[in-house]
Chain A
Amino acid sequence: MSSNWVEVCAADEIDEEDVIRFDHEGRTFAVYRSPDDEYFATDGLCTHEQIHLADGLVMDDIIECPKHNGRFNYKTGQANGAPVCVNLRTYPVKVEAGSVFLAIS
């Protein structure tokens, strides 16, 4: 299935080393800006208890769930140990003309 590029927000609306929540057609995503000024996206909910990751803390490559501190690498989706054991799905992201776009497959 081909991807749809969807506009998320202006690139500067996400701080460096931070995350925002993005809802689209009944789905929720977390869109990140790394300390190196790269953009990434994952599913919006923690795989442990359906909590919005965008309320969590970004430190380097890691997003930490606000509820129970489950940690994921948001660049790869890798779950980094208890209480999370299921990886996050990741999505392609691009920045064009000052806006962030997310590919929803």
Chain B
Amino acid sequence: MSRIVIVGAGECGARAAFALREKDFDGGITLIGAEPDLPYERPPLSKEGLAAAAPPKYLADAMRYQEARITVLTNAPVARIDRDEKAVELADGRSVAYDRLLLATGARPRVFPGAPENSERIRMLRTHADALAIRAALAPGRKLAVIGGGFIGLELAATARKLGAEVGVIEGLPRILSRGVPKEIAAIVDERHRREGVKILCGARIATIGHQGDGANILLADGGSIAADLLVVGIGATPNTELAEAAGLAVEDGIAVDETLRTSDPDIFAAGDCCSFPLSHYHGRRVRLEAWRNAQEQGTLVAANLMGAAKLVASVPWFWSDQYELTLQIAGLADDAAVTVRRDLSDDAFILFHLDGEGRLIAASAIGPGNAVARDIRLAEMLIATGSRPDPAALASPETKLKKLLGV
């Protein structure tokens, strides 16, 4: 096995490329990306990176790819995978042969039904170019409307407020952050935004969105309307599965992989936002995670498996969001929680432990200023990973050190 080709030059693909060399893989590595830039970090794009209109925060500079003998093809969208010939065909006609292939194609923002295409006034946020375009439209007094009260939309709202823009967030569900964030924590975030002057409209039913004058307009089903200079749609992401599907690989929400991240073709693997995989800590439940650390961890793990190992995905999902001075962190999946226990870390920071019907810790969610909650969330993640059933009273009491519960 001498040639590994990676389609998708984001966090996951780039990490996999470097991890291959760190594990002494000696064959050829080609990393193929559709964007003009070398791989960069996406999390800052809704936060400080957007505020500063900063250049991309590159994962590595060109020299490091050279030293690691990683061939990076930028501006190189892939047209198809030829599984018989074991080659990847690029849109510009080039063909790149592989012995093993990694699909790290990521996800793209979900499009609002009926939204005008290629609009300068109705945008989405995924790439550095998107962030720059949004930044250029934000200034004191300019009006920003965000559709979607999820992480991306709310982080963007916080950043836009810092830049002095007037911000409205329009959410279809009864509250913000309904997906994966407990209501107690969502309430703190909601209140913080309102204190900053952000207008949050929950339970909104949108009839249409479109251009109006020099800006954009949202027409609500109840007849109301919201006008803005810029409208950003942040209503979730769709996995990039088209290449896999066209090649006849199994797709189930994302590109379907087993616990070693192998697709239905033994020579093709998939990792990061684009794939759905069975999660061992949650009874093998198939999930797809859109998360930075997952992309990184799966990139590292899949590198070993591309080289013939059979390492199993066993990590606990972990997410974070920064809004104003607040950081929210979540480890695990709380969907099946039967009991929730609260531990106050200080006046303005707390952590919720979620236990299932058998008393097993399955998730922890926390919010607080700065990094106040980070250490306890990390320990909670370890408790989840070891399958512990901690005493709820011990979890609730700040006197009990979580490290003690780990028994290390």
Interface residues of A (CB under 8 A from B): 17, 51-52, 55-57, 59, 64, 66-69, 81-83, 85
Contacts and interface: CB of A to CB of B under 8 A. Distances in A.
Contacts of B59: 82-83
Nearest to B376: A57
Contacts of B60: 85
B97 interface: no
29 contacts: A17-B403, A51-B371, A55-B371, A55-B374, A55-B375, A56-B371, A56-B375, A56-B378, A57-B379, A59-B408, A64-B378, A66-B371, A66-B375, A66-B378, A67-B320, A67-B374, A68-B292, A68-B293, A69-B293, A69-B378, A81-B22, A82-B18, A82-B59, A82-B296, A82-B300, A83-B41, A83-B59, A83-B296, A85-B60
Given A82-B15, A82-B18, A57 B375 contact: yes
Interface string B263-300: 00000000000000000000000000000110010001
Nearest to B296: A82
B15 A66 contact: no
Interface of B: 15, 18, 22, 41, 59-60, 292-293, 296, 300, 320, 370-372, 374-375, 378-379, 403, 408
B300 to A, nearest CB: 7
Nearest to B320: A67
B327 to A, nearest CB: 8
A85 B61 CA distance: 12
A8 B255 CA distance: 53
B60 to A, nearest CB: 8
A69 B379 CA distance: 12
B48 to A, nearest CB: 9
A55 B370 contact: yes
Nearest to B377: A66
A26 to B, nearest CB: 20
B328 to A, nearest CB: 13
B403 A56 contact: no
Contacts of B374: 55-57, 66-67
A56 B372 CA distance: 9
A32 B219 CA distance: 57
A35 to B, nearest CB: 9
A82 B403 CA distance: 25
Contacts of A69: 293, 378
B365 to A, nearest CB: 16
A67 B44 CA distance: 13
Contacts of B370: 55
Name which of A66, A68, A81 has the most chain B CB atoms within 10 A of its CB. Answer: A66
Nearest to A53: B371
B402 to A, nearest CB: 10
A20 to B, nearest CB: 13
A69 B296 CA distance: 11
Given A64-B378, A82-B18, A82-B296, 11 more contacts: A51-B371, A55-B370, A56-B378, A57-B378, A57-B379, A59-B408, A66-B374, A67-B320, A67-B371, A68-B293, A69-B293
Nearest to B329: A66
Contacts of A56: 371, 374-375, 378
Nearest to A64: B378
B316 to A, nearest CB: 12
A59 B41 CA distance: 27
Contacts of A51: 371
Contacts of A66: 371, 374-375, 378
A68 B378 CA distance: 11
A69 B403 CA distance: 17
A31 B378 CA distance: 20
Contacts of B22: 81
A18 to B, nearest CB: 9
